[in-house]
């Protein structure tokens, strides 16, 4: 049941990534300053890479169940929501009050990678 939830979340994140990228390339073209367009693009890029990484962890999980895999997925999901989401809002609204949310999202993304390293190390030892 939980894996189905995570697969669905990764698939939705992938679809949203493509939609955000297309939105930026077409609807936002010429509407944002170059700096805000780059901010939006950074959000899309980080969401895309972490969505692909989630798929990798889920594929690994299909063959080998290890403690910590869900933690990795949760950290990345929350990190993407905070990091990419705050960049999308910043680019579209110019609201700078999100300045503390973006780095927190980045820390969660990094935490997900570190949790993956620990999980993989423990899996190798098992």
**66 DSSP assignment:** -
Instruction: Express each pLDDT in 73-89 by its tens digit.
Output: 999 999 999 999 999 99
Do 68 and 111 form a contact (C-beta atoms < 8 A)?
A: no
Label residue 69 by pLDDT band (50, 70, 90): very high
Q: Would you say residue 125 has pLDDT above 80?
A: no
The pLDDT assigned to 7 comes to 96
pLDDT band at 8 (very low <50, low <70, confident <90, very high): very high
pLDDT for 95 equals 85
CA distance 2 to 113: 21
Q: Are 50 and 109 in contact (CB under 8 A)?
A: yes
- pLDDT of residue 19 exceeding 90: yes
DSSP 36-64: HHHHHHHHHHHHHHHHHHHHHHHHHHHH-
CB neighbourhood size of 14 (10 A) = 16
Tokens of 84: 């990419």
Cα separation, 84 vs 73, in Å, equals: 16
pTM for the model: 0.93
Question: Which is more confident, 46 or 123?
Answer: 46
For residue 94, what pLDDT is reported? 85
């Amino acid at each position: 049941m939980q894996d189905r939830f995570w697969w669905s979340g990764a698939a939705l994140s992938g679809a949203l990534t493509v939609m955000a990228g297309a939105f930026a390339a077409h609807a936002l073209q010429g509407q944002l300053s170059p700096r805000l367009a780059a901010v939006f693009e950074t959000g899309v890029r980080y969401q895309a890479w972490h969505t692909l990484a989630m798929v990798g962890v889920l594929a690994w999980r299909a063959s080998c169940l290890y403690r910590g895999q869900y933690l990795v997925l949760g950290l990345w999901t929350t990190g993407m929501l905070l990091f990419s989401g705050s960049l999308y809002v910043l680019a579209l609204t110019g609201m700078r009050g999100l300045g503390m949310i973006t780095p927190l999202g980045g820390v969660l993304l990094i935490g997900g990678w570190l949790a993956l390293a620990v999980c993989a190390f423990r899996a190798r030892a098992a």
